[in-house]
Structure 1
């Protein structure tokens, strides 16, 4: 590894390669990077929510990030739509484009393709997409050099609470440490920022948008639970006769209190229990349900851009298809953003460590393969290539989804270039030479026929042209042609036709002899 070129980080300082192979951002039980989290969502109210959001804006996002984690844990709807958005990107196909056809560039692309076959990759991408909710996410690259080459051994997710933005710009991430906050080591981290809106990373995550919705929904659910507990079952009223003793009243009270849970009680015969049902239970319950559903729909719009794929609510004929297109647009945008992040923080760093700085680098592309109309594409190539259009075969294979053939692979070939049939036996070889001579004679006959027929055809055309020029109407042309028919100079033309029939006969015989 000593012969590798010296690499420099953004600060202009040389890269410390020995740091790249060890973990530097793991949890510390007694330090500032504790895995134990707080619960700022407990008893959250508008005043406390506004306060912790201001803290995040001022460069201390700890409580906000803890709240973002709680929202995902406690709001099933938010967790569902956010998980859908992350998983739809994490499971997409990944393609690698070489920087050029240069053998070194092809080797670099193949190296990355080999690494992408790891089973852990989908989970690692899912963790990187945590930035969709929190605004940013951090993944530590643990490099391996045991084989003499640089290799990303693991991509370890790191809790975003262990990082904070620099106060001077609000965007430069710093790693929390016991000795103070430090800039991230180059070539060591994948820093993903996926914005739901423009602005500072800590203010651009979906959790910031969902926090207010979640708080109001929590209020609605609490009130709904109290309402259900109070009016969801009939009110028990116990009646005691006049002159009842305190002991009788205590007995009746115990019966009223216990009958809700036990559904059974013993009371004296002279006492009476009544169950009084509330008349507005259904209407009151619908109010809470509608409010909770409305808040869920707003969350769906913020996360997925639509509601039809999650809430089964459509706005009209065909709207479900349109809503799906909106979700695909968001998926495509997330995939392009994640691709650019990986190209910047992983691919470029890897190539620099292994091969040194390059003029061009391979590129990752995450996304769905575009459906190609093979019939239409084939028809276009069949028309354009013969007239001079130059197309790379590798590009056509990529569009059709075919890989480059291996050198020893069995290939499909068009009929014109199909492998030749086995040579015929010796007697057939002797019969082939006369067939070749007969075919040469036929060719000479074709030439003679063309020479004989050409002047005759020209004379016939000249005769008809003169007749048309002299005629004054179509009737005169018709009468002239009928009168001219027996006198047409067609002797040589008739002779040419007879020779053509002979030629056809000879060509047929030559073909049979050749076969």
Structure 2
């Protein structure tokens, strides 16, 4: 790495320890108070974009800053894309398992775990909207190991993209460009489009939609102000002079603002109600504004489903995959910038030139449907496939229980063919009771689940004994045995009905009902 060798030769501990503001001495002012968006016209927009594509992006960078502040939709979707990256938990991967590499990785991990490091990522992502971002590093060189102490966002208008060297350079007050001080800056240039960084900036992509929406909203507000209000028409006579006309016009204006006015009796004012056709103008403004917002969503997020359209869940999940692709690319590019601008220089300053350096990563994990995964695994297990408990725990992120007291075990599913040991023995009314029932103290359940229920089973079994149904079944069986066809059997079945002896079963069912009623009363009402 020749650039790293040059860095170590040029680096100065005094320069590294200087505050970021003092390090900018000799550069142009980093504050531009002149607004760009106010009074913006299509002609002015075209000129701004043309200058930005050349060597003068100042107005474009200022406009990009104001777009984030003034357009709620653009600011929201751009912030969503930034937060998708800055919220990722960063990690450091050691160059090897060697003790020295592990020590260097631990040092790099301390830099990444610092409280102000996420702010550095957020400031670097400012380059998404503007094409590039620059942050100054303030180092703490008072200890044996030099570490970044603070990160300061710098206005991109103080820097320029040098086409010849394809690097970011600092811009001095006279307009000349100088190389950045070694180890003093973290630069991030998102590669959103081939060519100059400014031409791929998201603000450039959304600029025309922003301008047209600005015009649309203004016209919409004007329409809302006058919609529904009657049109005031003043009439003057043929002999009216210029003073009379001015007085009439002034009266019309006063009526519009004060709802009152005076005119000579020789003049009159008519109030003409606006036509219903103008009501259609309202939806036109709104639909056009929504259309422009969708174009901005497509440009920034790559989709509109999760921001503009309340569509089905399946459609939203498909579009989220598109956003995942963008997120992965943004994370990879930002990680490369942090690796080159911060991690490698910091390790080289403290441990010298190394063959390999720890790697900074922003891992993007693809969301997985664990419910579907579990269903698939369960199906394979039911077909006899052995599955590792350890692998399943790692997949669903569950630790092994410490001991038996720490383990939570769910109830095994009960087969529909198996009797319920707790519910089946109870009578219908006893199921409404609880173990702490205030009306019976749980006696109803105790009786229903013990001898009382056994007795009821015996009563039912005795009533439905094999010989109980003989008087009803035998005539039917005899008719079936003596028939040669179904029609003949149906004819004889009518005759068999008169031969049936139901006395026995009626007697048995009556006795069983009487016994069951008595047993039920004793069971459901313990006081009886």
2:284 corresponds to which residue?
A: 287
CA contact (8 A) 2:161 2:167 kept: yes
CA contact (8 A) 2:30 2:155 kept: no
Match of 2:295 among 286, 294, 298: 298
* Secondary structure at 1:153 match in 2: strand
* Secondary structure at 1:343 match in 2: helix
Q: Distance in 2 between matches of 1:47 and 1:254?
A: 36
Residues 229-275 of structure 1: per-residue CA shift (max 9 Å, x gap): 45553212356799999999877655432232233456789976543
CA 192–246 in structure 1, closer or farther in 2 if over 3 Å, else same: closer
2:92 corresponds to which residue?
A: 96
CA contact (8 A) 1:59 1:167 kept: no
1:233 corresponds to which residue?
A: 229
1:185 corresponds to which residue?
A: 181
Q: Distance in 1 between matches of 2:397 and 2:146?
A: 30
* Secondary structure at 2:280 match in 1: helix
Residues 425-446 of structure 1: per-residue CA shift (max 9 Å, x gap): xxxxxxxxxxxxxxxxxxxxxx
* Secondary structure at 1:311 match in 2: coil
Q: Distance in 2 between matches of 1:363 and 1:400?
A: 27
2:47 corresponds to which residue?
A: 51
Match of 1:160 among 133, 136, 156: 156
2:58 corresponds to which residue?
A: 62
Match of 1:86 among 73, 82, 104: 82
CA contact (8 A) 1:25 1:175 kept: no
Q: Which moved more, 1:110-119 or 1:97-106?
A: 110-119
1:433 corresponds to which residue?
A: none
Q: Which moved more, 1:246-255 or 1:302-311?
A: 246-255
Q: Is the counterpart of residue 355 in structure 1 residue 351 in structure 2?
A: yes
Q: Distance in 1 between matches of 2:290 and 2:194?
A: 28
Match of 1:331 among 319, 327, 343: 327
CA contact (8 A) 2:234 2:268 kept: yes
Q: Distance in 1 between matches of 2:184 and 2:199?
A: 25
Tell me how far 1:110 sits from its aligned partner: 2.5
CA 44–253 in structure 1, closer or farther in 2 if over 3 Å, else same: closer
Tell me how far 1:210 sits from its aligned partner: 1.3
CA contact (8 A) 2:136 2:186 kept: yes
CA contact (8 A) 1:8 1:14 kept: no
Q: Is the counterpart of residue 114 in structure 1 residue 125 in structure 2?
A: no
CA contact (8 A) 1:164 1:174 kept: yes
Q: Distance in 2 between matches of 1:335 and 1:196?
A: 12
Structure 1 vs Structure 2 CA RMSD: 4.0
CA contact (8 A) 1:27 1:35 kept: no
Q: Which moved more, 1:70-79 or 1:29-38?
A: 29-38
Match of 1:214 among 210, 213, 219: 210
* Secondary structure at 2:252 match in 1: helix
Residues 331-368 of structure 1: per-residue CA shift (max 9 Å, x gap): 22212221121112111111111111222222222245
1:40 corresponds to which residue?
A: 36
Q: Distance in 2 between matches of 1:71 and 1:47?
A: 18
State the TM-score, normalized to the length of structure 1: 0.65
Residues 401-443 of structure 1: per-residue CA shift (max 9 Å, x gap): 699xxxxxx99489xxxxxxxxxxxxxxxxxxxxxxxxxxxxx
Q: Distance in 1 between matches of 2:122 and 2:180?
A: 22
2:307 corresponds to which residue?
A: 310
Tell me how far 1:39 sits from its aligned partner: 2.8
2:453 corresponds to which residue?
A: none
Q: Distance in 1 between matches of 2:26 and 2:262?
A: 59
Q: Distance in 1 between matches of 2:14 and 2:192?
A: 37
2:129 corresponds to which residue?
A: 133
* Secondary structure at 1:184 match in 2: coil
Query: Where in structure 2 are the equivalents of 1:361-372 lying within 5 Å?
Result: 361-369=357-365
* Secondary structure at 1:51 match in 2: helix
CA contact (8 A) 1:232 1:281 kept: no
Tell me how far 1:329 sits from its aligned partner: 2.2
Tell me how far 1:70 sits from its aligned partner: 2.2
Give the length in aligned residue pairs. 394
Q: Distance in 2 between matches of 1:127 and 1:252?
A: 59
Q: Is the counterpart of residue 174 in structure 1 residue 169 in structure 2?
A: yes
Q: Which moved more, 1:223-232 or 1:140-149?
A: 223-232
2:445 corresponds to which residue?
A: none
Match of 2:190 among 183, 191, 194: 194
* Secondary structure at 1:187 match in 2: coil
Q: Distance in 1 between matches of 2:14 and 2:394?
A: 39
Tell me how far 1:54 sits from its aligned partner: 2.7
Q: Distance in 2 between matches of 1:398 and 1:145?
A: 42
Tell me how far 1:162 sits from its aligned partner: 0.4
Tell me how far 1:135 sits from its aligned partner: 1.0
Tell me how far 1:109 sits from its aligned partner: 2.5
Q: Distance in 1 between matches of 2:234 and 2:20?
A: 69
Q: Distance in 1 between matches of 2:27 and 2:181?
A: 20
Tell me how far 1:397 sits from its aligned partner: 10
Tell me how far 1:131 sits from its aligned partner: 0.7
CA 187–236 in structure 1, closer or farther in 2 if over 3 Å, else same: same
Q: Distance in 2 between matches of 1:398 and 1:26?
A: 51
